[in-house]
Amino acid sequence: MRIILLGPPGAGKGTQAARLVEKYGLPYISTGDILRAARNSDTELGRKAKEYMDRGELVPDEVVIGLVRERLSRLRQRGSFILDGFPRTVAQAKALDEILAELGMALDRVIDLEVDPPALVRRLSRRRTCRVCGAVYHLDYNPPQQPGVCDSCGGELYQRPDDQEATIQRRLQVYFEQTRPLEEYYERRRLLTRIDGEASIDEVELAIETVLGLKEQE
């Protein structure tokens, strides 16, 4: 199973990926998580990434492509993976095609979670993230059992600096300009499936499992 989760910031990619990872044990590659980890370490990559992330801009293609190439070439389990947050530009999608061809792998499906801007803003502005394990919560829609504390690891929850109103607007703009064209890119290759991302977390999960053939129709 080799899949990409596509969709704007706040569409629910990370939330759904976490569920698929837990149920099916698929290797998970999130460029956002990798870049945030780098950001917290005092490295050249981290310093460079921070500048872009805090402004809501995309980190340069060559940096992100290098990270993904390295992760993909280390995969085992007959090369299954879930990619979350990559590709985000047509250049990244083309590079991914080349990397997968080199590794003798092919994509099975690109799942596009559709959510309109007003709902995205409501989700991002009240999202909380675990500092330790990266788990994602929402103050109204998916609150932790204990305020400020991660259910899975007990870590501290925080608001990502790019989840503030002004940066959210910029990220949505960047999405519409640079990432949206990927829908057509994958549609042409007959890989794209659109899913209503405004349904509940459980409903979206079921829809994804059905598309991927993981759920028998009852």
Binding site partner of 135, from ligand ADP, Zn ion, none, Cβ cut-off 5-8 A by kind: Zn ion
152 binds ligand ADP (CB under 6 A): no
Binding site partner of 27, from ligand ADP, Zn ion, none, Cβ cut-off 5-8 A by kind: none
Part in contact with ligand ADP (CB under 6 A); list of ranges 51-59, 69-77, 145-153, 186-194: 51-59
Question: Which residue has tokens 């608001």?
Answer: 159
Do 153 and 135 form a contact (C-beta atoms < 8 A)?
A: yes
Binding site partner of 142, from ligand ADP, Zn ion, none, Cβ cut-off 5-8 A by kind: ligand ADP
What angle do helix axes 90-103 and 181-188 make, rounded to 10 degrees? Answer: 40
Return the structure tokens found at 137.
């919560």
The active-site residue, picked from 2, 13, 71, 128, is 13
Identify the helix (H) or strand (E) that includes residue 157: strand 157-158
Do 139 and 128 form a contact (C-beta atoms < 8 A)?
A: yes
56 binds ligand ADP (CB under 6 A): yes
Binding site partner of 179, from Zn ion, ligand ADP, none, Cβ cut-off 5-8 A by kind: none
Interface with ligand ADP (CB under 6 A), residue from 3, 4, 135, 136 = 136
How many residues touch ligand ADP (CB under 6 A)? 34
Identity of the residue, 62 or 102, whose beta carbon is nearer to ligand ADP in the bound complex: 62
- From CA 209, how far away is CA 218, in angstroms rounded? 13
Return the structure tokens found at 173.
């703009």
* 26-51 as b/e: b if 16+ CB within 10 A: bbbbbbbbbbbebbeeeeebbebbbe
* Chain residues that interact with ligand ADP, rule: CB under 6 A: 7, 9-15, 31-32, 35, 52-53, 56-59, 64, 85-86, 88, 92, 123, 127, 136-138, 141-142, 162, 171, 200-201, 204
